[in-house]
Structure 1
Amino acid sequence: MSTLQSPSSTIDLEHLEEDGPSQECKDVDIEKGQLSEYHGFWIPTWSLEGVMASQKQFQAHDTDILLMTAPKVGTTWFKAILFALVNRMHYPNLQEHPLLTNLPHALVPMLEVDMYKKKKVKDLNPASPRLLSTHMPYTLLPTSVKNSTCKIVYVYRNPKDTFVSLWHFLNRVHSTTVSLEEAFDKFCRGMSSFGPYWDHVLSCWKESIEKPARKMIFLKYEEMKEQPTIHLRRIAEFLDCPFSLEEEAKGTVNDILKLCSFDNLSNLEVNKNGRFCIPNHETTLFRQGIDHASFFRQGNSGDWVNYFTPHMTKRLDHIIEEKIYGTGFKF
């Protein structure tokens, strides 16, 4: 459905160290391939212009809420959760909720994808708080975000499940058949969308350690799956919209979780048959649209055991252990 090539066939590997992240590349050739190296991270070439435009033009508000994720760590689910949580007073009737007729990505704009096209800024609803999202690592965020007191919700996931989910997703949306082994080798070398994945996570983690006053919450996908009510209340407290005693008594917490559950969202007509399109986007992928169903594969944890060999497990475990050593962070 797309004229874009798969990431694995367009990256120059010659200057990369074995199992190591890429070096920073200040001069970026936007036309060189599917992924472009930009300040130590591999950015999808079609979104690079949006990344740079948002860095220069986006003006953060102190009341903004920014969902930060690497691809395939639960972005769709958390967009739904945050939208339902923040807007629950506006949509008290869940039978008429926007999530029933819209893909979560259509309700929570992404800075580098659908807000900045050809350096033109998409109009934002001036109402506060503005709920936004990005796949950019912390080091690449617009300066206005770093200088603001906006709240950052950072979500991360087991690297093995992240890789498997990303492999399935890219093969589906790009209509390619990149082998598991080939994709895994590049993931281990840091060459994944907005990767290296471990550097993406650590860029935000280190900021939270060095600047504890920074309004940031870390959420692990697996923990949210295991104890959703506990973590939904935690998110609500962080966003200064805690559940009232009346809401607790009415079961609002469980209502939101049910509305945003994988089973509910994946079985909605809009998500089974809809397409996520951005008219006039410079890439064929977004002009023609991505099947909504592509964003809903399993919604489970631990699926990686069905794909990884012992050698793959050992290799990635070694890389992760080496990269996070001494940081105090654990996946």
Structure 2
Amino acid sequence: MEVSQEPQLPNYMKDDHVSQETENLIASLPSEKDFMGYGLYNYKGCWYYPNTLQAVLDVQKHFKPRDTDIILASLPKGGTTWLKSLVFSVVHREKYQENQQIHPLLSQNPHDLVPFLELELYANSQTPDLTKFPSPMIFSTHMHLQALREATTKASSPCKIVYVCRGIKDTFVSGWHYRNMLHRSKMGQATFELMFDAYCRGVLLYGPYWEHVLSYWNGSLEDKENFLFMRYEEIIEEPRVQIKRLAEFLNCPFTEEEEENGSVEEILKLCSLRNLSNLEVNKKGTTRIGIDTQVFFRKGEVGDWKNHLTPHMAKTFDEIVEHRLRGSGLIFQ
């Protein structure tokens, strides 16, 4: 294996939790180096680090969702933290209506309230105890839909899947800053350009970007009852409209009384990036997967890419995505 065991390297990038069977599989797969020199391996069209691939295989083999479960899907840095906060608050809002001061988001990071399937639960055990979680249980994943379906098709009836999609340019820039904070280093322009090249070629964890987005877009077209495709930019632009849409999809719509009492606005305020990033729990400490909580909060703005990408880079991204999504009906402005 080629992955370094540096102390600051998160577990999902390592290769120390891989079975002999998976080692043999990895040896047969196409491989590339990521922009920092760590090995990525292509399995069924998606790129993974060794430990991540092992966990994905374990999810596929052992996870069997209940029809009451909710799965939140996204690409890394595609709006995951915000979606977790919103869905948790919408689904469990009745428990905290009388006393918002005890709301779990005030004392726990969103990633600890909504656990990752492959980055947490199945990263530590092939058979994690899921009975300890309340129903409806909310899980999250970065898995491509085709990879996820190998697990969800074992269920007797489908569960709800919510996907949040963010434009590639802001996803890229957010990912760049995340990796800088994650590795506690200031990577220079040369590394920035290497990461840009990797994105353009689709060689990134869970990538290519366009294949990931398309898998859930097509899933939402095929099964509107169980798939909700959300755009990060639309949640920013019309938060009230989108959170109501989310609640209706999850079969817990806001009542007229709740809307009159300001429940929608309360949730949006609680889950705002400004509020979450200022909470003490999100300023220090680590999540259960060992990543500093503050790494998950930066600007969250739409269009921040303009401060980082050259016009040529922006045009290249636009042309690639337009070409890859052509004919799908999915369009990015």
Normalised by the length of structure 1, the TM-score is: 0.85
CA gap of 1:214–1:246, structure 2 versus 1, over 3 A, is: closer
1:90 is displaced (CA, Å) by 1.6
In the TM superposition, 1:56-205 aligns within 5 A as 56-92=61-97, 93-124=99-130, 125=132, 127-146=134-153, 148-176=157-185, 177=187, 179-205=191-217
Q: Is the 8 A contact 1:68 1:136 kept in 2?
A: yes
In structure 2, what is the equivalent of residue 50 of structure 1?
A: 55
Among residues 278, 281, 284, which one is paired with 1:273 in the alignment?
Answer: 284
* Identity fraction in percent: 47
Q: Is the 8 A contact 1:49 1:118 kept in 2?
A: no
Q: How many residues align?
A: 304
For 2:8 and 2:44, the matched residues in 1 are separated by 26
Q: Is the 8 A contact 1:2 1:175 kept in 2?
A: no
For 1:299 and 1:44, the matched residues in 2 are separated by 26
- Tell me how large the CA RMSD over aligned residues is: 2.5
For 2:300 and 2:152, the matched residues in 1 are separated by 30
CA gap of 1:198–1:314, structure 2 versus 1, over 3 A, is: same
For 1:145 and 1:26, the matched residues in 2 are separated by 28
1:191 is displaced (CA, Å) by 1.1
Among residues 38, 59, 65, which one is paired with 2:43 in the alignment?
Answer: 38
1:108 is displaced (CA, Å) by 0.3
Segments of 5+ residues of structure 2 without an aligned counterpart are 1-5, 14-25
Q: Is the 8 A contact 1:160 1:304 kept in 2?
A: yes
In the TM superposition, 1:203-214 aligns within 5 A as 203-209=215-221, 211-212=222-223
1:240 is displaced (CA, Å) by 0.4
CA gap of 1:270–1:126, structure 2 versus 1, over 3 A, is: closer
For 2:47 and 2:273, the matched residues in 1 are separated by 29
Q: Is the 8 A contact 2:65 2:159 kept in 1?
A: yes
For 1:34 and 1:174, the matched residues in 2 are separated by 16
AA aligned to 1:226 is: E
In structure 2, what is the equivalent of residue 321 of structure 1?
A: 322
1:274 is displaced (CA, Å) by 2.2
1:103 is displaced (CA, Å) by 0.4
For 1:294 and 1:126, the matched residues in 2 are separated by 26
1:29 is displaced (CA, Å) by 8.8
Task: Identify the range of structure 1 (27-36 vs 245-254) with the bigger mean alpha-carbon deviation.
Answer: 27-36
Normalised by the length of structure 2, the TM-score is: 0.85
In structure 2, what is the equivalent of residue 283 of structure 1?
A: none
For 1:238 and 1:114, the matched residues in 2 are separated by 26
Look up the SS of the partner of 2:283 in the other structure. helix
Q: Is the 8 A contact 2:32 2:40 kept in 1?
A: no
Q: Is the 8 A contact 2:56 2:118 kept in 1?
A: yes
Segments of 5+ residues of structure 1 without an aligned counterpart are 9-24, 279-288
